[in-house]
Amino acid sequence: MEVSYYERGMALLSKYSMQIEGVDDIQPGSVDAGLIKELKQVSGWIQQLIQSEGDAFEVRVVGENGNARLVTAESGKLLRKIIKSYAPMGRGYKTLHQFEPYIDMAFNQIVKFGLSQEYLIPRGLVHIEEAKANAQQLNKCVDAIRQEAKSKQFESTLSSYRRSSNKNYKGLTKYVDALFERYSRLLVLRVDLSYSKEHSQTTQNQAKRDREHLFQNARSNNLFKDMVGYIWKLEHGPEKGFHYHVMFFFDGSKAREDITRAALIGRYWAENITQGRGLYFNCNAVKHNYKSCGIGMVDHTDGEMREGLRRAVVYLTKTDLYMKLQTEGRSMGRMNNPSPKDPRGRPRSKPPSKEWRC
């Protein structure tokens, strides 16, 4: 039997989701964990709606006064949840972000059919003509969502979106593996670099200049003397503005005191790079709260710590599974791969602090 475009698209999504299973635990310092959880929930509602059948809303006449009420099927309840989520999410993030295909498609249909909070209100009696008009508009929106999800164009969009996210995830995990091939131990720091409330409107270009300034200075600043790698991810929130999630990797045979070192980097960002405009969060200071700790000193033979580090790297890319920041350049980057270890055991020079483009 021929497999539909929709079924193939769902299979693609399931296959990708399996590759990152086990990263749903919300941890201190994670990448906008609450937002990720909300986006995942909305995407799930939309996919359930797509698989549903029949009318989402029906009209039931009550009495002889020309009044009626809407009867809501399970699919109708899903649509109400999606519409309700659109108000704070669609309007708050749409200008700077591209939602994953399911969310983007459903939100676009909600806008197209003019649905808003008013369609969530009439649970009581209304005039029969008003009830019919509401039911018709809501059912048309549901049908449009179902039909678009089955289209070849949507399958292509979904495939392209997931492939891009998967590429970033695989690229970063390979990068960390390459660091362990070169260094037997890594001191891993996770520092979130942001701006104070009064500077939350800092532009993307200014944030970029600050980030470039930080890594340029790192080449000659003793604070970064033993740094052998880094990964950065740019994010944006309606209240927080632009901010960076950064992982720093130091040669574990030379560097110690991860909490102190992370705090010093944070202070350097806040006081020197941004001249008092910046803030920081030291994730290493709360690493004991992590369910699976992957920061601090990580030995290449420690499977548990390396799995925790893998989870931490996944969090840097997980927001992109559901919502990608639209930037004027890159939203993610890292230092180049380290040079391979000399088989004769002679020490090698520190790899250049150039960046690989994501």
Give me the pLDDT at residue 45, please. 97
**Alpha-carbon dihedral of residues 26, 30, 33, 35, nearest 10 degrees?**
180
CB within 8 Å of 301: residues ≥ 6 apart: none
The domain locations on the chain are 27-150, 180-357
- Residue 275: left (phi > 0), alpha (psi -120 to 50), or beta? left
- pLDDT tops 80 at residue 44: yes
125-160 per-position pLDDT tens digit? 888 999 999 999 999 999 999 999 999 999 999 999
Decide which of 3.40.50, 3.30.70, 3.30.1490, 1.10.287 is the CATH code for 180-357.
3.30.70
CA distance 46 to 116: 17
pLDDT, position 68: 92
Percentage above 70 pLDDT, the chain: 82
Q: How far apart are CA 181 and CA 201, in angstroms?
A: 41
34, amino acid identity = G
At residue 166 the predicted structure's pLDDT band, cuts being 50, 70 and 90, is: confident
**Average pLDDT of the segment spanning 295-301:** 94
The residue assigned the tokens 């659109």 is 86
Q: How many CA atoms lie within 13 A of 104 on its CB side?
A: 16
Structure tokens at 321: 């599974």
76-118: pLDDT as tens digits = 999 999 998 887 776 666 678 889 999 999 999 999 998 877 6
- CB contact at 8 A, 305 and 294: yes
239-274 per-position pLDDT tens digit? 889 999 999 999 999 999 999 999 999 999 999 999
Output the pTM of the full model.
Answer: 0.77
Residue 74 CA to residue 226 CA, distance in Å, equals 58
pLDDT attached to residue 90? 64
